[in-house]
Chain A
Amino acid sequence: GEDVEQSLFLSVREGDSSVINCTYTDSSSTYLYWYKQEPGAGLQLLTYIFSNMDMKQDQRLTVLLNKKDKHLSLRIADTQTGDSAIYFCAEKGSSNTGKLIFGQGTTLQVKP
């Protein structure tokens, strides 16, 4: 079945780069997404990538996709304390319902 896995926790120093990793099992995934969740809030869309791309850059965010290994990563350059949150990777499969399958979320802690 469809499954998305993430490491649970990452701690970095302010100013460093953060890399959050995600693996998925559905080879028919069409789009992959990164969402950010701050305490008490919903999910904020950060970026997404189509499965026929291998990289997408958006300001401080870089998404890398290795479709062969079914591995997705999110790099945050110059990480700030305001980036502390839970980051979710999600994949949309080939079904026509558009439902997302989420990973467990990675808690990013940014130390000053």
Chain B
Amino acid sequence: GAGVSQSPSNKVTEKGKDVELRCDPISGHTALYWYRQSLGQGLEFLIYFQGNSAPDKSGLPSDRFSAERTGGSVSTLTIQRTQQEDSAVYLCASSLDGQGAQPQHFGDGTRLSIL
């Protein structure tokens, strides 16, 4: 597709369940980012991928959060044993690479609600 694609667009789940969020970046973009947008915290960086490796995971809030990227393309963000404070919009972005001015292009996000 032409842009960054995220799925699902909405996810409602019960506290304690695991969730997987998917991001399909723009074709040819080697850098991929996950951010979280919540009312109290604004937009927070979670993790950065260059190719399949993650040189910066400093924004992951706890060990319940993990992410992987395969084939230098699709990425999955997994949240285990979800808590109510995990409710937020999870945004994925990609760029040609992580250097210089290459701007990040965002998907429409996954709105996650934990009951």
Tell me the minimal C-beta distance from A107 to chain B in angstroms: 13
In this complex, how many residues of chain A approach chain B with their Cβ under 8 Å: the count is 25
Q: Which of A28-43 contact B (CB under 8 A)?
A: 30-31, 33, 35, 40-43
Q: How large is the interface on B (under 10, 10 to 19, 20 to 34, 35 or more residues)?
A: 20 to 34
Q: Which of B58-99 contact A (CB under 8 A)?
A: 59, 91, 93, 95, 97-99
User: Interface of A with B (CB < 8 Å)?
Assistant: 30-31, 33, 35, 40-45, 48, 50, 88, 90, 95-105
Q: Which of B1-47 contact A (CB under 8 A)?
A: 4, 6, 31, 33, 35, 42-43, 45
For the complex, what is the distance from the CA of A50 to the CA of B102, rounded to whole Å?
11
On chain A, the residues within 8 Å of B93 by CB distance are 43
Contact (Cβ within 8 A) B104 A100: yes
Tell me the minimal C-beta distance from B49 to chain A in angstroms: 10
Tell me the minimal C-beta distance from B54 to chain A in angstroms: 10
Contact (Cβ within 8 A) B107 A48: no
Contact (Cβ within 8 A) A102 B43: yes
| Contact among A44, A48, A97 for B101, CB-based, below 8 A | A48
Tell me the minimal C-beta distance from B55 to chain A in angstroms: 6
On chain B, the residues within 8 Å of A44 by CB distance are 106
Given A42-B107, A48-B103: A88 in contact with B45 (beta carbons within 8 A): no
On chain A, the residues within 8 Å of B95 by CB distance are 98
